[in-house]
Structure 1
Amino acid sequence: MRQSPLLNRPGAVPNAVGDPDEPVPAHYGDPLREQRLLVGGAAVTALARDVVVVSGPDRLSWLTTLSSQVLTGLVPGDGGVETLILDAHGHIAHALAALDDGRTLRLVTEAGRGAALAEHLQRMRFMLRVEVAAAGDLAVLAAMGGGADALDGAARRVRLARLGGGAGSDPAGPDAADPDAADRGGPGAWRDPWPGVVPGGTSYDVGLARAHPGASWRAGLVIVPVDAVGEVVDDFLADGPGRALAGSLAWEALRIEAGRPRWAREVDERTIPHELDWLRTAVHLTKGCYPGQETIARTLNLGRPPRRLTILQLDGLTGRLPAPGAVVRLGERAVGSVTSVARHHELGPMALALLRRSAPVDAALTVDAAEEAGPGSAGAGPGGGSGAAARVDAVQEPLVCPDGKAQASPAQRPGAGLRKSLLH
């Protein structure tokens, strides 16, 4: 995987080898401070993401037929959409942030997934007027709140300076030769819709009478050439007081607080979108057929997702953290597993976990953990090093209705009245 240029910045500490965020810095010395700066819009971070570019006049209608979301209405500067590519059984194969500039569609996926995504799309081209390529020369930067607008502004200024100077590559992508590029200002920033319910979507929070924990999540991404990362970051840092770099640990802690699913962490080979409440932002329920659509509709109308995503507030007094994949237990019985874990600057240790739908929401749970590594373990992930087996107490903050019902689910299973009449 391509390494971020920000790993060469002073104080950058790498993630562990094999971690999904290995290509980007874990932190710059103080992950908790970096979280606070991100929340305040005063920090920028590099995300471990790949970009695939799709060009040609059929690109938006074509991707609409292949994915779970409607892309045909995308226009430059609209903030883009989120979409999923599912397999025939409704399992999540790719999760994408999609952004169009009027000529080229950019698809942001997990680091190391770009080639597989491009290969899949190439197989589905048929006779349509589209071209697909994994863009190894593009990188993704991110910020939150007002920082997302500032980062977008920095990317635009660098882009226009490069276009005006005639040197270097175009920070918005491969269309630098486009004579209208400067007027359009590039694709703009992708605005994360989480946790809103987008048109055509629904939420799985029936009966959860509380504000969504991600209500304050305001994230934005910009796509820039790898060789422009330093320029965009420096412009962002110079454009306001107290700005700084943040690492992946800070970004992940805020993502976990918001209950925001991520493909590299929350998805396994059998995950369907309902389990992660991903119908909020990435699925259009009435858009028509696409691979996996039958599972989406059947589970919504007839079934119940077998698992549910939850936030776990962890006991911080033990000095231990679980690692992703750690078993979650009700007594001695395994009822799920941890998918993401972090130390939050205000809430302390917390995690996301996928639990069996039958696990009671008010049950006292424990999570398998290990003795945490010392602070000198620079390359360690959020779970630290290995040590004596232990358990950490955990309290749930449910994200998905334990009854497995969405706001758009029917009040009763379709056909229930017919079956009742036949029995009598």
Structure 2
Amino acid sequence: MDLIPDEVDTAIIATPASTVVEIMESCARKGVKAAIVVSSGFSEEGNKRLEQEIVKIAKRAGIRVIGPNTTGVLNTANNFITTFVPIENLRRGNVALVAQTGMFLGAMLRSIASSQHFGVSKVVGLGNKCDVDDWEALEYLAQDPETALIGMYIEGIKDGRGFLEVSQRVTKEKPVLILKSGITEVGSKVVLSHTGSLSGKDEVFDAACKQAGIIRVRSLEELIDLTKAFAFQPLPRGNRVAVVSFTGAGGVIATDACAENGLAVARISRETEKRLRRVTPKWHRILNPVDLWPAVEASGTIEACNTAIKAIVEDEGVDEVIVILAVFKGMVLPCDLDILKEKRHLDKPLLFCIIGDKDYAELMTGVLERRGFPVYPYITRAVKASAAMHRYSAQRKRLCLLF
């Protein structure tokens, strides 16, 4: 560092742990104000003294440190990146990710880049959190105009009060989704060896999340499911859901899932019934959930889908819409729906579930998600995403009144 003639804003340190203290000393002499320590071999391996030495140097010199044991940060606005994991084709968007981990974050980004259609604004890998903490990352992202929602993976909280206070402010404006590991006795021991964190009692953390308006998820799958719902769609006004399904069984499954997740099956209006009747055989009863297959047989896939989706979306008694499509060889795929051509933004969430032939389902998923409509492979996952949006919307109203 002493040999560099120009000023240095940030140091990215990816050398053996035994050399990091010396490099931090050179950063202090150079006047560096930020360091991202990618190197591992510190408190996560029981080497707390070495990590404390880094913190001591940083505090003395006014250096803020991210890590150690991290892949670092990513800013898609200016393409600043510190990870050693190749990140290609990552879309720029409104989702920020914060993770207390190292390699897992890089792998998750590769998964998102290669399989998901939502975009990313910022990524912060905190690693062992020897200095920069969760609440500081949250506070920064709360003020970031490019970030609309924040997804987090954490293993333990160091400053519970600071985290709670900042979260209460952030969730009034932006959804915060958290996946926490180390919730079992066995898992907490593994966390200690992974990032050197104490995971704490899960009951206490769960209560804090509810108080702060944080949406807690239980798996990486659920984190992705909810992220794309919030990233793509507006919040619902209430919990009244309408379901349009190619199969009657799909409607029944969705109805049960709604009841189990605090959602109500909406009563569709007389006007909506009239509009649906234009494409539906006279012998078929029109209810919510809407069993659309008789209309598909009578009027064709495109006409039936266009009529039903438009009528349900425009029904004032409906707050959220879930469309269940079945796709298979020999049928006309609904790739040319009117909803995909319209440039206006909907004022209520519209989510899709696609079941059937794998190749056709993947094709339809790409078509829909590129236009901002989240797609799920299973009905219950679509319903749970809708329920999470409703819960957050209700919690945000409560927090705005209290704080």
- TM-score, normalised relative to structure 1: 0.24
Relative contact order: is structure 1 or structure 2 higher (C-alpha 8 Å, sep ≥ 6)? 1
Q: Greater helix percent: which structure?
A: 2
- TM-score, normalised relative to structure 2: 0.24
